[in-house]
Amino acid sequence: MEINIEQLLGTKVCDIDGNDVGRIEEFRVERDGKSCLVDAYLIGASALIQRLSAWTLVRPIERFLNARKIYTIYRVPWQDMDLTDPRHPRLRVRKRDLRHAK
Amino acid sequence: MDLVRDVLDKRLMDREDCEMGRVDGLVMRIGENSQPRITHIEIGGRTLWMRLHPGIAKLAATLARRWGPKRTTTVRIPWSHVVATGKELKLDVEARETGAIDWEIWIARHIIERIPGGGHEEEE
Amino acid sequence: MKKFLQIALGIVTSVGGFLEIGSVATAAQAGASFGYKLLWAIFIGTICLIFLVEMSGRFSAVSKHTIVDAMRERFGFPFFSIVLLGMVLVAFMVLVAELGGIGLSLQILTGIGFPWWAIPVSFVVWLLMWKGTFGLIENGVSLLGLVTICFVVAAVKLNPDWHGAARGLLPSLEGDQKAKYGFIAVSILGATISPYLMYFYSSGAIEDEWDVSYIPINRIIAVFGMSFGGVLSMGVLVTSALAIQPNGIDIDKFEQVALLMTTALPRWGFYLFAVSMLVACLGAALEISLAISYFFAQGFGWNWSESLTPSKDARFCFTYTVIILVAAIPLLLHADPIKVTMISMALTAATLPLAIVPFLFLMNDPIYLGEHRNGWISNSVVGIVILISFVLAVISIPLQIIGG
């Protein structure tokens, strides 16, 4: 299946129990010669900023704030992400088992 | 490397350092149990307008059917052609052959060159 | 020696290119209605502009990207398109006002109404863009703009009350006519702090191939060039306060602004005024057309450079051709350039946050600027001024529409 990653940006992600985790903010990849493999997804989570994120205007600024580590970002390895429905990505693990991104 | 920070929306240069547009989209192929991989860079057209709203993409497609270079598919460049990343992405292709600058050539030939002083796009 | 010449040229072209119909109309209105009381708006606006221009030049010199490049790359296409829409709409209105200003100058010189001049003026502006290079526009037209120094000459000739003027540099709240006072203050801020200048300077730094070594030069040009330019604006306000306020005239016609000069310099005043406005508006029209086209070209990744033959950057040239053509239409339909000016200046101030907030983020970005990031002073000054203009705009524009 082919997905355009820019369409995935900002999509809400739920964990395996259906709990809100956050929105897809970034795709971490490794370059291997001529190919490019997706290693992990970065999910940004913050109740307040997430509510503000509904506005397109604020979302990119929110992404910018990521770099400042002003709120939580989770790192989800590619194996733990289920993209069979690209509009409703689901994790294969629980929210509490997630690791924080560096 | 991070895709959104380091690749998406960056400028593209061909092997002769000509402007090719920007990375407007990236195609990811997902398998049942295999690691997802980035297969293509997409430039312009539908991909770009879809990032705003599907309605806008439809409108752009209708306008493009009536006017401009006759192109039916979005410009797709295999990721394997990426030579270097950094401030811009360098590709191992020639801009003309990819179709990335079809609009530039069309406007140059049909409008700009018809005005005195416009010059010729082929000139070097 | 070479750097000294570049600094001198930079300052001189900044001064020559400073005034345009917006700054003249708003300063003239301010002087006519409120005497020296609004000098602080020009003062604060100029300070903010110094910081913004310095930051624009520094950003491009260090990162080798234009502000628009960086805005698309850091914030993504959807955010970029919102800023594009806002900036282009407002800049377009200002362009209409500038073309109207050239038309009005020709009207008072020849007696032929400005709608008749709409097409010839647009054509000349387009031709200069088509045939000219960046150097011609940046330097040539701006040097001609030095004729606007006549406004300061006029101000001095009228023997202003220097103490009164100095008091005007401190912000004060006007008693009656608060809505009008606020509206003119907002318009002055919008006329002085024009976002299109940032995009123009940033692209200019790339066209002129600036690098890190140009940072000190950039700073000097920004400080002195914009300061002297601000003095010109103040000159217009002071002259208006002396020549027009005593007569109790409200300025809403271009011909009335000419009174500024004819009172001070009876013999040459009229012609100086017309020629000054013509050159000033021409320079601004060229800069705005370039700025709008840069916005599209850089944002979408097209070839762009004012110095290339048009066929080498076809989409860029097509953009400015269309813009200039369409800008002539409102004037053909008899739109009043002074009214368009006042509205577009107020709208500029109201939409400043849209341009400046992303810019402030970029100026603090280590990837683009490394160790040359903004200090807290730059961030604070710009942040505060933007807040002031936004608050004022939110209050005054509705009040002026209801009251005026």
Domain spans in chain B, listed from the N-terminal domain onward: 3-114
CA distance B4 to A93: 24
pLDDT at residue A55 is higher than 60: no
Give the number of B-C residue pairs with CB atoms closer than 8 Å: 69
Average pLDDT on C244-273 reads 85
ipTM > 0.90 (yes/no):
yes
End-to-end CA distance of chain C: 54
Strand partners for A76: A41
Contact (CB<8Å) B3/A29: yes
pLDDT of residue A65: 67
Residue spans of alpha helices (H) in chain A: 5-8, 47-52, 58-67
Non-local (6+) Cβ contacts of B21 within 8 A are: B11, B12, B43, B44, B75, B100, B101, C300, C301, C302
Contact (CB<8Å) A60/C82: no
Please check whether residue A55 touches C, CB under 8 A. no
The domain that holds C362 is classified in CATH as 1.20.1740.10
Three-class secondary structure of residue C373 per DSSP: coil
Interface of B with C (CB under 8 A): 4, 8-12, 19-22, 24, 48, 51-52, 87, 103-105, 107-108, 111-113, 115, 117-121, 123
Non-local (6+) Cβ contacts of C18 within 8 A are: C145, C148, C225, C226, C228, C229, C230, C232, C233
Strands B11-13 and B19-22, by their bridges, are antiparallel
Nearest to C72 among B9, B19, B113 (CB): B9
CA distance A45 to A49: 8
Its domain, for residue C82, covers: 23-403
pLDDT of residue C379: 87
pLDDT at residue A49 is higher than 80: no
The reply to whether C167 falls in a domain is yes
Contact (CB<8Å) C357/A61: yes
pLDDT of residue B124: 40
Strands B89-91 and B82-84, by their bridges, are antiparallel
Give C382-391 pLDDT, tens digit per residue: 888 788 878 8
Domain A5-100 adopts which CATH fold? Answer: SH3 type barrels. (2.30.30)
Contact (CB<8Å) C317/B103: no
Report percent pLDDT > 70 for chain C.
Answer: 99
Burial pattern C228-243, b for ≥16 Cβ within 10 A else e, equals bbbbbbbbbbbbbbbb
Average pLDDT on C326-345 reads 93
**Partner chains of A (3+ C-beta pairs under 8 Å):** B, C
Nearest chain A Cα to B47, which residue?
Answer: A4
Give C77-96 pLDDT, tens digit per residue: 999 999 999 999 999 999 99
Domain count along chain C: 1
pLDDT at residue C28 is higher than 70: yes
Are C39 and C168 in contact by the 8 Å Cβ rule? The answer is yes
pLDDT at residue B71 is higher than 60: yes
Contact (CB<8Å) A1/B47: no
| Mutant choice from A1, A2, A4 vs B, greatest count of B C-beta within 10 A | A4
Q: Name the phi and psi angles at B28, rounded to 5.
A: -110, 130
Q: How confident is the model at residue C174 (pLDDT cuts 50, 70, 90)?
A: low
Mean pLDDT for all residues in chain A: 81
pLDDT of residue C167: 87
Structure tokens at B111: 């409008």
CATH assignment of B3-114, among 2.40.110.10, 3.40.50.2000, 2.160.10.10, 2.30.30.240: 2.30.30.240
